[in-house]
Amino acid sequence: MTKETTQTQFQQVIASCENDPKRMQDVYEKHRSTRNASFQTLILGPRFPGWIVDDTLQKLHAAGEDADPAIDPRHNMAFWARPPQHIRDMVSEIQSEIRAIAPTLWFMPSDRLHMTTMEITSCQTESEIKDLVSFLHQHSPLQELVNYTLTHRARLVKPMVNYDSSAIALSFVPAAGEDDRYTYHHLRSDIYDGITRSGCPITSRYTVPSAHVTLARFITQDGFLLGDTEKLNHAQNSLLVDTLEKINDRLRDTYWQSDNPQGEWVVGQEKGLELVKGRSWYGKGDRVLLGEGFQ
């Protein structure tokens, strides 16, 4: 394992924004808004090929709690931020609205909701992850990192539903008020540095301006086809997109233009960061360490 010697993507964003929280918030906002607009055009267009079905999750869902571990051999390791109760309540309400018009989606259970603050690696074997855990215990300050939010408070604000052709998520952006000099982006950068200084490289699937909680995934085309045919029901696709956009209108009206605390998430509230390993792709996995939370 080699140490990081170049400026990280996190540091590049901080430098390009001149460490201005408002400019960093704009980077996150532009990323998610542009992404939504792009996928809305795709999904509503005449050439939309259909939803990207997660075949592994489909098999796990069909097998239930007794699913053969061989169905999903991917072992991962990451730091998660668990949403506090008021955010879980928001998620539950949103999921209910989506379920009413798209019941064939797979919905993330409340106890599995998480935001990936820093993915260390994914799609490894069990033995590779075991060796990595052992290495990090010896060479990195894991307990300090999971407790990091006790002394480094970062607010997330402006909830928005994001969607693509495979999943639906609830995203946030770093707060940019007078007291928000330390942002969620700084937190992610610090966790990144804390791991890479040990000599462990980070191979994350996630883009840098990302702060989202997965709400639902597509595991079938059922409900989005015309009758018993294989033809897409474009009206149903439009209904789903329209529902998601109406939810976003409500979120903006309720939480964006006010100081409503129910729309903000201070990372570490109730629970500190959680280091997880194993088959954690869908919110399960094994806990390595859990940091101390605050009220």
Mean pLDDT of 229-249: 96
Q: Is residue 295 part of a domain?
A: no
> 3-state class of 201 per DSSP?
coil
Token digits for 111?
């106890």
Give the pLDDT confidence score for residue 235 in this predicted structure: 96
Residues 35, 31: Cα–Cα separation, whole Å: 6
Report the interhelical angle of 9-16 vs 184-196 (nearest 10°): 140
Mean pLDDT of 58-78: 92
Percentage, residues of the chain above pLDDT 90: 88
Token digits for 222?
């059922």
pLDDT at 168 over 70: yes
Q: pLDDT-based confidence at 6, cuts 50/70/90?
A: low
Q: pLDDT-based confidence at 201, cuts 50/70/90?
A: confident
pLDDT tens sequence across 27-40: 999 999 999 999 99
Give the pLDDT confidence score for residue 206 in this predicted structure: 73
Give the pLDDT confidence score for residue 31 in this predicted structure: 96
Which range of residues forms the domain containing residue 186?
Answer: 9-290
pLDDT at 81 over 80: yes
Q: What is the chain's percent helix, strand, coil content, to nearest 5?
A: 45, 20, 35
Residues 139, 256: Cα–Cα separation, whole Å: 42
Would you mind telling me the total number of residues written for the chain in this entry? 295
pLDDT at 237 over 70: yes
Which amino acid belongs to residue 77? M
Give the pLDDT confidence score for residue 3 in this predicted structure: 39
Mean pLDDT of 80-109: 98
Residues 14, 114: Cα–Cα separation, whole Å: 25
Indicate the average pLDDT of the chain: 94
Burial 2-21 (b: 16+ CB within 10 A, else e): eeeeeebebeebbeebeeeb
Q: What is the DSSP string of 9-76?
A: HHHHHHHHTTT-HHHHHHHHHHHHHHHHHHHHHHHHSTT-------HHHHHHHHHGGG--GGG---EE
Question: Does residue 151 contact residue 273 with C-beta atoms inside 8 Å?
Answer: no
* Terminal CA-CA length for the chain: 38
Mean pLDDT of 122-143: 96
Q: pLDDT-based confidence at 65, cuts 50/70/90?
A: confident
Q: Is residue 198 part of a domain?
A: yes
Question: Does residue 98 contact residue 215 with C-beta atoms inside 8 Å?
Answer: yes
Partners of 115 in the β-ladder: 81, 213
Q: Could you give phi then psi for residue 52, rounded to 5 degrees?
A: -85, 110
Give the pLDDT confidence score for residue 48 in this predicted structure: 95
Q: Among 53-57, 63-67, 81-85, 95-99, whose mean pLDDT is lowest?
A: 63-67
CA-based angle 15:17:19, to the nearest 5?
70
Q: Is residue 35 part of a domain?
A: yes
Q: What is the CATH number of the domain that holds 181?
A: 3.90.1140.10
Q: Is residue 3 part of a domain?
A: no
pLDDT at 4 over 50: no
Torsion of CA 242, 115, 210, 139, to 10 degrees: -170
* Residue closest to 175 by CA, chosen among 167, 165, 187, 163: 187
Percentage, residues of the chain above pLDDT 70: 98
Number of H helices, E strands in the chain: 8, 9
- The half-sphere exposure of 46 on its side-chain side, counting CA atoms within 13 A, is 0
Look up residue 6 and give its DSSP letter.
S
Q: Is residue 68 part of a domain?
A: yes
pLDDT at 74 over 60: yes
Token digits for 253?
């009206």
Q: Is residue 122 part of a domain?
A: yes
Residues 139, 40: Cα–Cα separation, whole Å: 45
Q: Is residue 45 part of a domain?
A: yes
pLDDT at 159 over 80: yes
pLDDT at 293 over 70: yes
The count of domains in the chain is 1
Give the pLDDT confidence score for residue 37 in this predicted structure: 98
Question: pTM of the predicted model, to two decimals?
Answer: 0.94
Q: Is residue 14 part of a domain?
A: yes
Give the pLDDT confidence score for residue 36 in this predicted structure: 97
